[in-house]
Structure 1
């Protein structure tokens, strides 16, 4: 496993990481979580991602208890969580100073940890001034409840504004953004965010490298496997949006490339994400140890992605975003 600096910071995160979205609390309990987390550690993963909203806080409780029972040394791992949706009350969501402070304390209590390494603003909040959010995130860092802060699904303009405020006030700016990134969703990472990497040293921890399983090819037979994410009631709408003919055709076009390299399509898709130099860590998800073992082998596929192979991949998916003229 390779360890990359998270953007321009000194924090090192494993090239592949593990996220608790969907699985912890919805599909897995503490016992199963322990075996998955240990499997990740055995493959060199040191970065584990969570959020206050995952399974309404249960995902944090499960991860915290599992890590405690595994007896891991806290300094050996990097744990992140995300603040935005903390409950149903008017002040239980968003990025106000009140919710950032209270939400962070509640997350730490569920995780049973004194701090998280990384705290994200899970979405932009149009109803709170960005300056209030920047000041609140710095308060959390000053208190030692988090070491670094970042954003998730923010626009380049919003991140730029946050950095402008941080620089003006001599505060810490966001060091990382967590966007969706895969062969079917590329615009933000490869086009919109281009100035952020050089201007602010933003790192990326990307999610959904397999486009919720679409890029494994398991949905190309026209049926939804009963143990898959799209079989869950909450994900029916996402399934209807994702499993369209144009997308499935692109997945079919990728299959021969993976076959030629002698690797599963899922490993090719994860390796492709990790090969982007602006991506610090690719967050993977899994509900079985066998899936983790397969996903982690993607690190061996990265060296196989020669310029010629990358050209074949581009021809297969034809999803490369147009770069703005000024950043060519």
Structure 2
């Protein structure tokens, strides 16, 4: 296999230094055999990409009670790697919060995955605005107890992210260090909007790019046979139509559509980490090739893709519905 070392970037001012790639995402670990999972983990450790995203999907729109986190735990133990050889990002859900408190969620997640701690966690999205002071305070209690190392937010409205940052700074607490946002060649409104852009430019937050392949649609493999992320802005049909164009441009760069899409995210200096759901070793190898592409093209990918930005009508502050362009 090609010698590749995945570079590392800081996940925001108060976050850890992490590989620029994270493996996992939604129910990834139950889309492969145990042997395939161990092979992916081994290759991730070998290349320096051993940053894994897991969650217990048990509430809100994700009330699936899947075993993906349990399967990851089984695979990581079977791989024989020491805890210091890899990093893990967990999840805290807000849909049933505060009835289901953060401490209970974390203890359940750690027990299911067989881990002693999460290096960081993402505090998930919400239907109604949570008590932000309580959220910041209770996340910090988990940090004080050594159960998590840092935290970030997932697709929050900009105003609520700014409130969480202000509360943490005022109280001398650990603020969120990163924002996990939908970001890709077709979805750029929030991640590149003025508000979040200001927070990224200041160093207050790092960007974790998620849904960067739109559930596999941008890979050119057609209609996904699994549940994928929400279609904010109602642009999915346009994304299907754009996939062949992405493939055409990728050929011009002597790359695959997946490599072009990942390299696009890496070109943004705000991007600290790109999250994807490789469920085959071959997919991981293809994705690692995006690093070679990004190094070779030196920032020229964005110039070839402006016409594929499809969510310009979505509010960059994360407020939906926004005014739809005519």
By percentage of residues, which structure has more helix? 1
For the aligned residue pairs, the C-alpha RMSD in angstroms reads 2.6
Cross-structure match for 1:71: 80
- Residues 1:218 and 2:212 aligned together: no
Q: Distance in 2 between matches of 1:308 and 1:49?
A: 30
Cross-structure match for 1:45: 49
- Residue 14 of structure 2, aligned match among 1, 9, 15: 9
Q: What is the aligned residue count?
A: 302
2:208–2:274 Cα contact (<8 Å) kept: yes
Deviation of 1:20 after TM superposition, in Å, equals 4.1
Cross-structure match for 1:172: 174
- Residues 1:59 and 2:68 aligned together: yes
Question: Unaligned regions of 5+ residues in structure 1, if any?
Answer: 86-92, 225-229
Q: Give the TM-score normalised by structure 2.
A: 0.84
Cross-structure match for 1:204: 207
Cross-structure match for 1:132: 134
Cross-structure match for 2:188: 186
Deviation of 1:154 after TM superposition, in Å, equals 0.9
Query: Deviation string for 1:191-244 (max 9, x for gaps)?
Result: 04112224561012221211111111222xxxx4xxxxx223x45997xx6652
Q: Distance in 1 between matches of 2:150 and 2:123?
A: 11
**4+ residue runs over 6 A deviation:** none
Deviation of 1:159 after TM superposition, in Å, equals 0.8
Change (3 A) 1:172 1:50: same
Change (3 A) 1:309 1:205: closer
Deviation of 1:263 after TM superposition, in Å, equals 0.8
- Residues 1:253 and 2:255 aligned together: no
Change (3 A) 1:170 1:296: same
The 5 Å alignment of 1:309-324 reads 309-315=301-307, 317-319=308-310, 321=312
Q: Distance in 1 between matches of 2:244 and 2:129?
A: 43
SS in 2 for 1:147: coil
Deviation of 1:10 after TM superposition, in Å, equals 5.5
Query: Deviation string for 1:257-289 (max 9, x for gaps)?
Result: 211211111100111011111111101112211
Cross-structure match for 1:227: none
Query: Deviation string for 1:267-319 (max 9, x for gaps)?
Result: 0011101111111110111221111111111101112335554222214x144
